[in-house]
Amino acid sequence: MFEPENWYWLYDIPQGRLTLLFIGAFVGFYWIGSILVRPLLRQFVKRTPGSNDIVGYVLSCFCVFYGLLLGLIAVTAYQNVADAGANVTHEAAALAALYEDVSRYPEPHAQNLRWLLRDYARYVIRYAWPLQQRGIIPEEGTIRADAFHDRLLEFEPETPAQEIIHAEALRQLNEFLEARQMRLFSVKSSLPASMWWVMILGAVFNIFLCWMFDMRFITQLILGGILAAYLGTMIHLIFDMNQPFRGDVSISAEPFEALYARMNED
Burial letters 151-167, b for 16+ CB under 10 A, else e: ebeebeeeeeebeebbe
Task: Assess whether pLDDT exceeds 70 at residue 12.
Answer: yes
For the chain, the first-to-last Cα distance in angstroms comes to 51
Confidence (pLDDT) at 177: 92
Cα(121)–Cα(180) distance, integer angstroms: 12
> Could you tell me if 139 and 89 are in contact, meaning their C-beta atoms sit under 8 angstroms apart?
no
For the chain, give every domain's residue range.
Answer: 4-263
pLDDT tens for each residue of 212-261 = 888 888 988 898 899 999 999 999 989 888 888 887 778 889 999 999 99
DSSP single-letter state for residue 106? P
Confidence (pLDDT) at 266: 65
Least confident range from 41-50, 83-92, 139-148, 188-197: namely 41-50
pLDDT tens for each residue of 61-110 = 888 889 899 989 999 888 989 999 999 999 999 999 999 998 888 888 88
Cα(205)–Cα(231) distance, integer angstroms: 12
Say what angle helices 217-240 and 15-36 make with each other, to 10 degrees: 140
> Could you tell me if 84 and 245 are in contact, meaning their C-beta atoms sit under 8 angstroms apart?
yes
Identity of the amino acid at 202:
G
Confidence (pLDDT) at 1: 52
Torsions phi, psi of 76, nearest 5? Answer: -65, -45
Confidence (pLDDT) at 189: 83
Confidence (pLDDT) at 217: 86
Q: Which residues contact 251 (CB under 8 A, 6 or more apart)?
A: 81, 84, 85, 88, 244, 245
Torsions phi, psi of 142, nearest 5? Answer: -65, -40
pTM to 2 decimals? 0.82
DSSP single-letter state for residue 178? H
Least confident range from 26-30, 44-48, 182-186, 227-231: namely 44-48
